Amino acid sequence: MVGEVYVNEPLSSRIIMEILEENPDIKLIKCPSSLYLRTSKKYLDVLSKLGVEVEPVVKSGRPKKYGELEVKLIQKMLKDGSNPREISEKLHLPIKTVYYLKETPLKRGRKRKYTPGTEDEIKRLHNEGLRTKEISEKLKIPLRTVYSIINK
């Protein structure tokens, strides 16, 4: 005999009857908010008359493993000049977690080989009518890279 039940399927007359038969002294049925919104108003009214309330569960799922303390600590270490790998080793966190928890514009990955100015120059020369091979020879940049930059 339980006074509260969690249901993770749509409340239908069959489900409601099963719940009431198994738990005659039930007072509360909890369900995800998405299911609560799809539950018929008639079912909610009938359950209310029987003294059973249906309550949506606002947040369910896996709880967060790391909190604000870790996020603030990572932010502070980044401001102090530590890189994500050092932070990972000092805090004994996976490096992916450090990248996930940090909230800075710093991006993981390869640095750009050519500056935005060089890329703009390539696009300008291309728009002026220079052939791709001529741009490659003039700026001493591989032909394939010139094509890649033009097609961005």
Q: Is the pTM of this model over 0.85?
A: no
pLDDT of residue 135: 94
pLDDT, residue 101, reads 83
pLDDT at position 142 is 93
| Residue entry with tokens 């606002």 | 58
Over residues 9-20, the pLDDT tens digits come to: 888 889 999 999
Domain spans, the chain = 4-57, 68-101, 116-150
Measured at the alpha carbon of residue 22, what is the angle toward residues 17 and 25, in degrees to the nearest 5?
95
Query: What is the per-residue pLDDT for 23?
Result: 87
Q: Give pLDDT, residue 1.
A: 54
Q: Which residues of the chain have pLDDT under 70?
A: 1, 60, 103-109
Q: How far apart are CA 141 and CA 145, in angstroms?
A: 7
Task: Report the pLDDT value the prediction gives residue 144, as an integer from 0 to 100.
Answer: 93
pLDDT tens digits for range 116-138: 899 999 999 999 999 999 999 99
DSSP 3-state of 111:
coil
Distance CA 64, CA 70 (A): 12
- pLDDT given for residue 107 in this prediction: 55
Confidence (pLDDT) at 147: 93
Q: Do residues 94 and 88 lie in contact, with contact meaning Cβ atoms separated by under 8 Å?
A: yes
Residue-level pLDDT at 104: 52
- Looking at residue 109, its pLDDT comes to 63
